[in-house]
Amino acid sequence: MTKALPQPPEGHCFHCLQPLPKDGGYKVTVAGQSQAVCCYGCQAVAQTIEEQGLLHFYQFRDTSNPLQVPLLPEELQQLEAYDQKDLQEQFTQVDDAGMRSTTLSVEGMTCAACAWLIEQQLMRLNGVHNAQVNATTERVSIRWDEQQVKLSSLLQEIAGLGYRALPFQAATQEQDFKRRRRYFVRRIGIAGLATMQVMMIAVALYFGMVDELDDNLRQFFWWISLLFATPVLLYSAQPFYLSALRSIQARQLNMDVPVSLALLSAYGASAYATVINAGEVYFESVSMFTFLLLVGRYLELLAKQRAIATAANLVKLLPATAQREVAPGQFESVAVSKLNVGDVVQVLAGQTLPADGELLSHETEINESMLTGESVPVLHQQGSQVLAGTLNQTQPIRVRVFATQQSTVMAKIAALQDQALANKPRLAERAERLANQFVKQLLILAALTFLVWSFIDPAEAFWVTLAVLVATCPCALALAAPTAVTGVIHRLNRYGIILRNTDVIETLREVKTVVLDKTGTLTSGQFALSERQYPNGNAERADSLAKALESYSEHPLAEPFKALDLDSAKLQLDDVEVHLGAGISATWYASPSADPVKVRIGAPRFIGEWHPEVTEQSEANVVLATESEVFAFYKVEDHIRDDALSTLNQLREQGFELIMLTGDKYANAKRVADQLNISTFKAECLPADKLAYVQGQQKDGPVLMIGDGINDGPVLAQADVSMTFGQAADLARQAADVVAMRNEFAAVAQLITHTAQSRRILRQNISWALVYNLGIIPIAVLGLVTPYIAAIGMSISSLLVLANSLRLYRAPKDAR
């Protein structure tokens, strides 16, 4: 019974103790009593305190001085702190739509039903646009409008369900994992010791080794078994009870409900039989069932840790402090979280870069293996982009910061991995729904079994029902999908491949057509100017203007122009516009007093709108011109990727149809297609042309699209499965389902191979779980299985599923 809560003076607010308004204010029910409060705010806070079981706030607060009474319990005050902008910058991101997103760690989730419950509760809140919960990693990926709902409200909502959610902090993840591992190890240890002792007694009793002993001695053995089984029931099995209570409270049954019923029933009936010295005892079933279940949960915890360690390790690579420049040659040590865009930092040789930025020093070699998996250092020249988490190897450098914390490429990669872990393929979702429905059917079946056996053999009715509860618990079915999905994500991460959408695992099975971009996909994307022609001379003027225009582009073809050793900063350009798949246009002032001139640089067909003869005159793929004259023809080339031909041959052997789409000229496209034995290709494609072509191909079946440019963004979003590379344009990475961080074309074959293996394992898991659960039902209902045999069978079934999924966690021989 709840202790009566202290009441405020007559006419004062129950929550804040201030005088009530003349109309009496509002009403709120706390601890079963109606209380008067002065305003809507006090009403809302009091309801939250009631819902979250924080009534001790009212019971123990000092009311002698109303002006000093806290208005929130300490627990809620701590959550309110997460609404602070400067704190949120450390663990949240803001997208182009102004929505804020983050990843939360949730304590207490045990199965898919927990994840479903949290998802449903969060999605009911105004302002929450997306919530994805993964029971395997125990994380929540959430996207919300901070103008409509605060982060503290989301945390409180989850707390109201009985779970503890806090922003995911990679730096503390290892410590949390060790704490949870100790949590299980202690309980497994007690359950294991008790099981050994109780089983020795049970074997002697079952096989008649003590038949010659009198009833008093037999009862003594029962009491000894009771003594060992009690701490197992009260301590070791505690995680199952807590999970079952939460699911019942939320009216969404999970598999811990039948587990808890079976344990409590078996222990209660055995204890009763021990007291009256009549009947049967199954203390060994209680101990063994608990021990085997805990072992399964512990192994599942280890599998989770291996799956999410890669993403967590990325973020932990960032240093805690940075050397910020305060004056030429003078630096101060500041926390990385205090760095701002525009700051200049010094990074010594052997140190890790604290933020993304522009290299101000002449050159250095940087090890980017933590991002790409490639161990060979990369040479960076002045002006190039360097990334947080990479290792400066050669000499001290100065870097101007342009992205910090959650805006860095590393943080975005970790966010992609979190997103993949939160998503569930359709087959996994079906398995989870099936497991949830199975629990309800199991409880109904158990009730019917007890009713029928009450007429057949009342003495056996309880024990047969108990065996049904234990043997048919869908633990294996609940483990089947999440362990396999997490396993393939872990496997692909070893190859530097990040899944943004786990539906890829299922969709790839139906794909028979692979559409490929050329530039930066089949070719290396490392462009160089191989030929230059200046019809009217003045090469320096043309090159400077080309550099100035291309500085606005992220297309790979623009990179050689940006590297030209010319000063283009003084050139005045207005109305600059980037035309996807075509080029760049602008208004150019040749001198401060000159008239404005329209200028373009880009594909020959783009310039051909002004000068039709351009498309016929040269093999150049980039042309610079004004409306009145052509300034320059440029031929920009790169070479075919070293692993492109072997990978494409492998795809052909697997029965894939290969199609190349490119915006390049026909001659260049044909040269690449001939070298790679691609019979079907289309050249001079605009983004709309690529999109229309893929849409046409989709009429015959799903399409895999591989591209890397800004102009590939629409077609990547349209394709059934899309893939890009780590060095691709931001738009391409955002649109793609898969990102290959190592920039190796061989990742395409690796993706197909390992998703196929994961599909086999996923289907094997679900098939085995269904066969076991459906097959054991008639055997258990007929009374042919004892409770302890049922416990062994259920546990072995779960461990087989887990062991099968763990095959995906083995390090592949060819993974680096």
pLDDT digits 0-9 by tens, 406-455: 677 777 666 665 655 555 556 666 666 676 677 778 788 888 998 999 88
Residues 536, 609, single domain; the answer is: yes
Same domain, 648 and 510: yes
Cβ neighbours of 413 (radius 10 Å):
24
Q: Tell which residue, 39, 45, 13, has the closest CA to residue 26.
A: 39
H helices of 502-572, where?
504-507, 539-550, 559-562
Whole-number percent of the chain with pLDDT over 70: 80
Per-residue pLDDT at 517 exceeds 70? yes
Give the chain's mean pLDDT. 78
Residues 64 and 192 in one domain: no
Amino acid letter, 293: L
Beta bridge partners of 625: 600, 630
Q: Tokens in use for 688?
A: 């709309």
Structural domains of the chain, count: 6
Residue 456 lies in a domain: no
**β-sheet with 703-706: strand ranges across:** 497-499, 738-740, 721-725, 703-706, 513-517, 657-661, 680-682
pTM: 0.58
Residue 412 domain-assigned?
no
Q: Partners of 477 in the beta sheet?
A: none
**Domain end residue (candidates: 55, 72, 89):** 72
**E-assigned strands of 75-120?**
92-94, 100-107
705 inside domain: yes
Radius of gyration (C-alpha) of the chain in whole angstroms: 33
Mark 519-555 as b/e (b = at least 16 C-beta within 10 Å). Answer: bbbbbbbebebeebebeeeeeebbbbbbbbbbbebeb
**Could you tell me if 201 and 304 lie in one domain?**
yes
The answer on 146 and 90 residing in a single domain is yes
pLDDT tens, residue by residue, 69-100: 555 554 555 566 667 676 666 677 777 677 88
Q: What share of the chain is helix, strand, coil (3-state, %, to 5)?
A: 50, 20, 30
Question: What domain range includes position 276?
Answer: 174-312+423-449+461-487+758-809
pLDDT at position 472: 75
| Domain shared by 215 and 298, yes or no | yes
| Same structural domain, 441 and 382 | no
- Based on the domain organization, do 280 and 239 belong to the same domain? yes
CATH of the domain at 353: 2.70.150.10
Q: What is the pLDDT of residue 423?
A: 58
Burial 132-159 (b: 16+ CB within 10 A, else e): bbbbbbbbbbbbbebeebbbbbbbbbbb
262-271, 561-570, 707-716 — most confident range: 262-271
Q: Cα dist. 319→185, 188, 352, 353, 373 in Å?
A: 33, 37, 7, 8, 20
Q: Residue 606 is part of a domain; what is its CATH number?
A: 3.40.1110.10
According to the model, what pLDDT value does residue 731 have? Answer: 65
Query: Which one of 25-29, 162-166, 479-483, 759-763 scores highest in mean pLDDT?
Result: 759-763
User: Are 343 and 433 part of one and the same domain?
Assistant: no
Higher pLDDT, 426 or 280: 280
DSSP letter at 69 equals -
pLDDT at position 1 is 43
Asked whether residue 134 falls in the same domain as residue 278, the answer is no
pLDDT higher than threshold 70 for residue 64? no
Mean predicted confidence (pLDDT) in 140-167: 80
Least confident of 76-85, 389-398, 686-695, 786-795: 76-85
For residue 133, give the 3-state DSSP assignment.
strand
Q: Residue 757 CA to chain centroid, in angstroms?
A: 21
pLDDT at position 404 = 80
H or E, element range at 517: strand 513-517
Query: What confidence tier does 712 reach under pLDDT thresholds 50, 70, 90?
Result: confident
Largest CA-CA distance found in the chain, in angstroms, rounded: 118
What are the start-end ranges of the H helices in 676-784?
687-698, 713-718, 730-735, 747-781
pLDDT band at 230 (very low <50, low <70, confident <90, very high): very high
Pick from 98-112, 190-204, 336-350: least confident: 98-112
Q: Which helix (H) or strand (E) holds 152?
A: helix 151-160
Whether 209 and 182 map to the same domain: the answer is yes
Is 467 within the bounds of a domain?
Answer: yes
Q: Which of 637, 661, 684 is the last residue of a domain?
A: 637
Per-residue pLDDT at 658: 93
Residue 231, pLDDT score: 92
Are 367 and 303 in contact, with CB atoms under 8 Å apart?
A: no
